[in-house]
Amino acid sequence: MTKVGVLALQGDVREHAAAAVALGANVTLVRRPQELESVDALILPGGESTTIDKLLRAFGLRDLLMERIDAGLPVLGSCAGMILLARDLVDGIAGQQTLEAIPMTVRRNAFGRQVDSSEVALTWLPDGSPMHATFIRAPWVEAYDPEVEVLATAGDPESGVHAVAVQYGRCVATAFHPEISDELRVHQRLLELVPA
Ligand code: GLN
């Protein structure tokens, strides 16, 4: 059975764990290096990217995680998790670090403040199907290298259209929260990236 880790330092860990279990995965909560070593895929939950960044370093997980991603570990990051996967940030706080896993620039809090959370009807570009997405103080992808695949976009006449779901190698990132809207296609994509 595929062993999916959920980084459990801060954020909506339980919802991601439930999505992975619904897809038949075995879930491990990851707080220690040994737990990170043992998983076949990892989910970086939504929450607060500045806090998760600090805790990753405090728990001695950041370097190991960067090594595992380099070696091909499939990773899904939602919202704060997307921020953590970005190579570059706009509106990060002083000293904020990322895992530099996807060659993209992500703008934090791009879609507005917490109270501006929204529900948006998107198109899931891999198969053209509709997808209902929940954005909570969400980032967007401001720029990305040509090798990055765009899985969904969102926008309005004011802000323009931005990538809000992307994939690069075995890393998938969404600005929205598939784990809280009964949406399993994004987690399914992560599981499909686990080598047989
Ligand atoms: N604004 C948060 C951050 O910068 C992300 C919000 C979320 O994960 N829902 O980390």
Pocket test for ligand 1, best of 96, 109, 113 (most atoms within 8 A of CB): 109
Residues 33-48 have pLDDT tens digits of 999 999 999 999 999 9
When pLDDT is cut at 50, 70 and 90, the band that residue 115 belongs to is low
Strand spans (E) along 24-148:
26-30, 41-44, 75-78, 86-90, 102-107, 118-124, 129-135, 140-144
Indicate the domain borders of the chain: 3-192
**Where does ligand 1 bind, in terms of residues with CB under 6 Å?**
46-49, 79-80, 83, 108-109, 136-137
When pLDDT is cut at 50, 70 and 90, the band that residue 118 belongs to is confident
Residues 10-24 have pLDDT tens digits of 999 999 999 999 999
User: Which CATH number fits the domain 3-192, given the four candidates 3.90.1150.10, 3.50.50.60, 3.40.50.2000, 3.40.50.880?
Assistant: 3.40.50.880
State yes or no: pLDDT of 112 exceeds 80: no
Return the half-sphere exposure (C-beta side, CA atoms, 13 A cut-off) of residue 159: 15
Listed residue (126, 115, 104, 127) closest to 175, CA to CA: 104
pLDDT at position 154 is 94
Residue 36 is encoded by which pair of tokens?
Answer: 């990170």
Residue 179 annotated to the active site: yes
Q: Give the three-state DSSP class for 64.
A: helix
Q: What's CA 41's distance to the chain center, in Å?
A: 12
Name the catalytic one among 15, 79, 162, 183: 79
Residues 52-90 have pLDDT tens digits of 999 999 999 999 999 999 999 999 999 999 999 999 999
